[in-house]
Structure 1
Amino acid sequence: MDIKNFSYAVFKGLYDSVRGMVAVLSLDKEINERVLNRRSPTRSNSVRQKQFDPGEHTTKKHLKKEEMLMMIITFCSRESKVMKRIVQCSILNGGIFLLSILIFRYGLLPGLNKFLGLIFGQESFMGKLVWSWIEPTLSLIFRAVWEIPLFLLSKAVNALWCQDIADLAYRHSRGRPIYSQRVSVMIADTIFSMVIQFFFLIQGIILSYIPIYLVSTTLSFVHICLLYSLYSFEYKWFNMGWEIHRRLAFIEANWPYFLGFGIPMAFFTQLPDSWVISACVFSILFPFFIISGNEANPIMDSR
């Protein structure tokens, strides 16, 4: 393995993952400008026909108003929703789901604990007994009534929004997606991909239990980075018509690049001590990494 090429590939993957997130700021504008520019010749021809039609008595002022109205209607009907979908993901996962968990765990429960301390005394046996019953009961009710249902709902909604983001970004950069497979083959490919991702995740979790801390942490982190890279690029490769075996072979052959690409998301999702909070962080960041994966050009033969 060439250390220089390996280091460059890891750094390039890390750079592409961050650089692609910046591209989302201008992506909507570029898509909408392209739509309007594609529509403008048709509008201009229709306007010229009306201007030189002797049977028409519409003034130039009215023609300009009509042209502007057509532009607004076209723009509103075809406007890109990339930023809108990303904002929606952030509000659902961060503003509603994550914020409610943080308020409950670090606001409501500590506040209630202090309130019971004021009533029974900070070190009283009765206060500790009441709190030992109230805290798990409230936590169980919160998970059953709010946390788990909202988690499942957010996963379903995020899947739709992320697919919408990926399709819009792909059409902007590469044109119409390629769907060369039959529907049955596409369904089987998707299911097999989910199974592979599940076992890959389990493998990373198992590696984290190796007795040697540095080895277990490193191997688990590498697995998570590669898995998140697969998540980010899979939308693009699926739209390109790549089957699952080709996607996996490409990541295996060029893993240093994808290791670097997955570092930012793996780092931020490993910070929380709760898997639910980690899932919220992942859902907030993932749309940006879909854009990054769509805009990136992986380095090949870097091992």
Structure 2
Amino acid sequence: MAYKRKVTVRDTTSRDHTPGGSSRQGLTHAAPHHRLGLLTMAAVGAVAATLAQFAEDWIAGRAAVSDVAVHVMVTVVLLVVVLEVALLRRAVVDVGAAPHPSIRYYPAGTPRELDTLYRAAAGVVRGAAVGAEVVAVNSWLEVYASPDRCPSAAASCRRYLQAFEDRFGEVSYRRLVQVDREPAGTLGVSLRDWMDASYLEHYVAMTCRRQGGEDPLVQLTEVGHAIPISFVVVSEGRGGRIIWQLHRNSPQPHQPDAVEMLGVLIIDDPAGQLVPTFMSWFRAIDRGDRRDLTPADLGCPPVSPNGAR
């Protein structure tokens, strides 16, 4: 049985992770404290001004300072301070009550562990709500084809990718393939030389689906290399689920910096504490040189609008 460890992550960072973005979470929970701080300052200022006026009148002999009046003013200040502390405590409790992300780690060591990993990842995709936004990124350093890959691992990987294809027409699905060739847009038929057969079949299915006019929400895009990361995000409203692939160094003759999968983290993020970060990474990677791939780019015949080749 694969090792699965569940931990709870508490994220105190902003939910808006776009560059230069403001902290919506911080503003939401800091606003009551800010307003109460101003209220306290105003109350203290009013009391100070009143006391100053009483002092001026006392010196001028126009009035006597009433102990009752002083006690009333001090009491008002104390009430405001108590109210501020109470509401601040409530704001802190509200922040702590937000559901935390949960994480499970699935190693990719043995064929049995790989099968468990791919089944869990496929479950994330199959569990996406209708209308969800599914995005995926592949790193340019990732090793796809491996001569010593066992057939059972390849079959598990293909079943995982089939989960995406089973959701065609139900969710929007975009995948970015990062490349380190200059300029971007030079994959062409050479993709067959380094791409794992399972992924190649999946990419062909994606491009045929889009070019055939069956599903405009499916898109496969080649982009220039930007962030050495691979992940899938199922975004549903504020939160969602994340499949975050971890890598280890695996030097290849053609790519000394190549990496291969070490395992994956599957993150449940119902409150949207981490999903916005990954979505911002997706948008950042998608900004550079890019082009949408077609079946011809993968060495397949073009697809007619009715789906025929």
Q: TM-score, normalised by structure 2?
A: 0.30
Greater helix share, structure number: 1
Q: TM-score, normalised by structure 1?
A: 0.30
Structure with larger Rg: 2
Greater strand share, structure number: 2
Q: Highest relative contact order (Cα 8 Å, sep 6+), 1 or 2?
A: 1
